[in-house]
Structure 1
Amino acid sequence: MAEEKLGNPAVVGLGGFGLTTLVLQFHNVGWMPSVGPVVWLGLIFGGLAQLIAGLQEMKTGNNFGYCAFSGFGAFWIALGMVFLGNHFEVFQASTTDVGWFLVAWTLFTAILWIGALRIHGAMAFTFTTLLLGFILLDLAHFGFPELTVIAGYELMICAASAWYMMARIILNEIYGRDLLPAGRAWIK
């Protein structure tokens, strides 16, 4: 009996991560004053859909994808809840509180970044830009708020890179060839 072909959950995880990251950066650079769209995307596409993609990655045996998508899905849900808590004055978080929240996620990202360096160039680039973006946001929350805009533009590049990997998976399958290359791993 032929094995049933399943979809790759990474396309949803990368799509949700890229879209939600991009929209948050529209807010961070000042193009979109409201965080409303970020909250809803963070809860649904960046959060829930990415979390589900991570759980599906578990079934494929991909621990990196399982951890990354489940973890960042939880990140987006938590960030959406922080925004809601501040808005409704329930379990409010100060700028410094959010800074420490981001520092913890920076450390989480650093672990995944080390692994990403051995996967392929596109993954290494995405996680390098994500790690740099988190570091800039950490600094922005601890006394250098002007770095928020720089982080915003830098993280737009990260979001585009995640979408590149999503497009790579989809288009390479559709066209049956390596239409969009991933590049060599940065560390062998």
Structure 2
Amino acid sequence: MSTSNEIFDPEKSPNNMAANPMRRQSRQQMNQQFQHQRQQLPLHAHLEPEDVGPFHMDQMDVGMNTTFRTTAPMPNPGPFGLCAFALTAFCMGFYNLRAGINTNSPANALTGTTLFYGGLGQVIAGLLEFRNGSTFGGTTFCSYGIYWISYSTLLIPSFGVTAAYADYPDDYATTVGIYSLAWTIFTFLMWTLTWRSNLASSLVFFCLGMTYLLGTVSTLAHLEPGNIVQRASGGVGIITSCIGWYCAMADLSNSQNSYYTLPLGQLGRR
């Protein structure tokens, strides 16, 4: 223990960043790495400065040395949510396209997919996105997950929704059309928030908005099932699902698990 009576000067302390060029340089390098990684993030990813590197790091300064406590990084729920969205949209797209399906055939066979994978799956992904700090990812996944759950209630006889309108088919079509119109507006609003993210994500929301729009027109116009507008909605829905799968694969693929990576087409800086 030192017995010197020298007065402690904080400016000369090794813990002072200005007095310690090694610490200042290390912090600058971490900030540069953070800015670089944040620019490369996919749509639903989230990064904070302490997340730089393969682990989350809690930094504690001890003299001139720096120690780190590392914990496993939070997984990215985006690919799971995108896969749940894409598969459900793919199945519903083929149903609306009436590919090999009778024009008057009900969609009840899709109830399991819409309720559990497209519905519950996306809600779970959205809650995890909120947990990771991604407000946009959490809002979109939870919203579309709840959409599929609510849509499933129209297909489940025990809810009695369709039966209640048995004598009022036009009113039923109008009500469902207004519901679809609301989701059309919501989707195009979300689309405007992707203009500075990447091309793939922007295309997903644009094509999804067109899918809702065509479905809305078909329903509000009281056209017969299997009409050309509904078939067009199904075709665009299939395209939407394929782009969604592409985004999921772009998030999943890396140098550790594949021989390729997929570009998303950066549109602007965050």
- Structure 2: distance between partners of 1:136 and 1:67: 24
Q: Where in structure 1 do 4 or more consecutive aligned residues deviate above 3 Å?
A: 173-178
Q: Which structure is higher in RCO with an 8 Å CA cutoff and minimum separation 6?
A: 1
Partner deviation per Cα, 1:13-55 (whole Å, 9 max, x = no partner): 1001000001011111112445233211111000001100000
Partner of 1:19: 87
How many positions carry a matched residue from both structures?
186
Q: CA deviation at 1:174?
A: 3.8
Assess if the C-alpha contact under 8 Å between 1:13 and 1:69 holds in 2. Answer: yes
TM-score (norm 2): 0.64
Shift in alpha-carbon separation, 1:82–1:34, aligned structure 2, 3 A? closer
Shift in alpha-carbon separation, 1:47–1:6, aligned structure 2, 3 A? same
Mapping 1:1-188, distance limit 5 Å: 1-31=69-99, 32=101, 33-84=105-156, 87-88=157-158, 90-92=160-162, 94-143=172-221, 144=223, 145-172=227-254, 174-175=256-257, 179-185=261-267
Greater strand content: 2
| Greater C-alpha radius of gyration | 2
Identity in percent = 26
Partner deviation per Cα, 1:118-156 (whole Å, 9 max, x = no partner): 211110011110111111111111215420000100110
Paired residue secondary structure (2:234): helix
Paired residue secondary structure (1:55): helix
Shift in alpha-carbon separation, 1:40–1:173, aligned structure 2, 3 A? farther
Q: CA deviation at 1:177?
A: 8.7
Deviates more, 1:164-173 or 1:20-29: 164-173
Shift in alpha-carbon separation, 1:128–1:174, aligned structure 2, 3 A? farther
Q: Which runs of 5+ in 1 are unaligned?
A: none
Assess if the C-alpha contact under 8 Å between 1:124 and 1:186 holds in 2. Answer: no
TM-score (norm 1): 0.90
- Structure 2: distance between partners of 1:173 and 1:74: 35
Assess if the C-alpha contact under 8 Å between 1:27 and 1:34 holds in 2. Answer: no
Q: CA deviation at 1:107?
A: 1.2
Paired residue secondary structure (2:116): helix
Greater helix content: 1
Shift in alpha-carbon separation, 1:122–1:177, aligned structure 2, 3 A? farther
Compute the RMSD of aligned alpha carbons.
2.1
- Structure 2: distance between partners of 1:69 and 1:135: 20
Deviates more, 1:136-145 or 1:167-176: 167-176
Shift in alpha-carbon separation, 1:62–1:39, aligned structure 2, 3 A? same
- Structure 1: distance between partners of 2:217 and 2:161: 23
Q: Which runs of 5+ in 2 are unaligned?
A: 1-68, 166-171
